[in-house]
Amino acid sequence: MILAHLDVVPAPPEGWDVPPFSGEERDGYIYGRGTLDDKSCVIGVLQALELMLKRGYKPKRSFYIGLGHDEEVSGHNGAMKIVERLQSRGVKLLFVLDEGLAVLDGVIQGVKRPVALIGTTEKGSITLNLTVNQPPGHSSMPPEETSIGILSAAVSRLERNPLPNMFGVGPEASMFEQLAGEFAFPLNVMMANLWLFSPIISRVLERTPSSNAIVRTTTAITIFNAGVKSNVIPRMARATVNFRIHPGQTVTEVLDIVRNTISDERVEISVLNSFDPLPISPFDESNFGYQTLQRTIHSVFSAAPVAPGVCIGNTDSRHFVNLTDSIYRFSPFKMKSEDLSR
Ligand SMILES: CCCCCCCC/C=C\CCCCCCCC(=O)N[C@@H](CCSC)C(=O)O
């Protein structure tokens, strides 16, 4: 089954080089909200179908295409409905391919050649609302601590105390072991001997946001709200925090750590949504899905070695776990380090 999604996150009008829905082509790039996530995969799938139809191609086995329309808001009415329908028909899938990792070109420090990473698992996620309620008042007679001050301190504690570096206890270690030969000396030796060098490698990886994301559960403060008037101390302050959970941890473990870090009963913690990291899909030589994907990647990006990786973002494919144990996340485009912020 091949998945992609049509929806995009909202586009604020300001801050764009070109209008966000123009799809303008400039210097070899298509600009527009959702170009990478996930229009490129949608168009890739549709163009491939069109080409196969034109050529009268007859596939050896049947396959499904699933195009979701609400991936960015958890896929409740898209992917989840597709899964329900397939389950009601008793369908089992050989493998699922969805968006995800890509051909990384200069993204992994120390690796010269572009490398294709197939996401064989996906991080979990937990989103929390932190709320502080304190008596409101006039700014001329402020109390020692306000709802805003208490919440800011809690949020700051979360940022200053990241969750532990878990490198070596998760599947990201397999990625570095398989790519060891791509690094120059002495990194190649270190990557091939993680049993000895993982303490050093783990410290290096946490220095940049993209590699930090694969060694730990990350903490991102995404919404912060309080106050409506400059001379009024508000009753309520609220922040939303999103954690992406490393495959070696669970929602429950993360929640316990967060409670201990905040350690302030005035901060009410409520869970907006959560799910554990996804199971690791097989990537051995006998696995049909992984091997098919690897062969196909080689035929298009011939210079790129292929390795399994951890998808740091979430995809619709997580809803398919009861239909197959083989779920792969790969978007067929090259990504450079400057593209990571796009
Ligand atoms: C050693 C360095 C490795 C660095 C790896 C970084 C590679 C980054 C490449 C791709 C990014 C992955 C993106 C996956 C697709 C994410 C899609 C998405 O945004 N999904 C939403 C879903 C929301 S569901 C509530 C999300 O927020 O994750």
Residue 342 has pLDDT above 80, yes or no: no
Q: Got the DSSP string for 261-297?
A: HH--TTEEEEEEEEEPPPPPPP-STT-HHHHHHHHHH
| Closest residue to atom 11 of ligand 1, CA basis | 101
| Closest residue to atom 9 of ligand 1, CA basis | 101
Q: What is the pLDDT of residue 145?
A: 98
Would residue 168 be called left, alpha or beta, if left means φ above 0 and alpha means ψ between -120 and 50 degrees? Answer: left
- Residue 144 is among the residues annotated as catalytic for this protein: no
179 lines ligand 1 (CB under 6 A): no
pLDDT band for position 281 (50/70/90)? Answer: very high
36 contacts 331 by C-beta, under 8 angstroms = yes
Distance between start and end Cα atoms, the chain = 28
130 lines ligand 1 (CB under 6 A): no
pTM of the predicted structure, to 2 decimals: 0.94
State pLDDT tens for residues 245-277.
999 999 999 999 999 999 999 999 999 999 999
- Residue 38 is among the residues annotated as catalytic for this protein: no
Between the CA of 118 and the centroid of ligand 1 the distance, in Å, is: 12
139 contacts 232 by C-beta, under 8 angstroms = yes
ipTM: 0.94
Tokens of 202: 């783990």
Q: Of 288, 267, 234, which Cα lies nearest the Cα of 95? A: 288
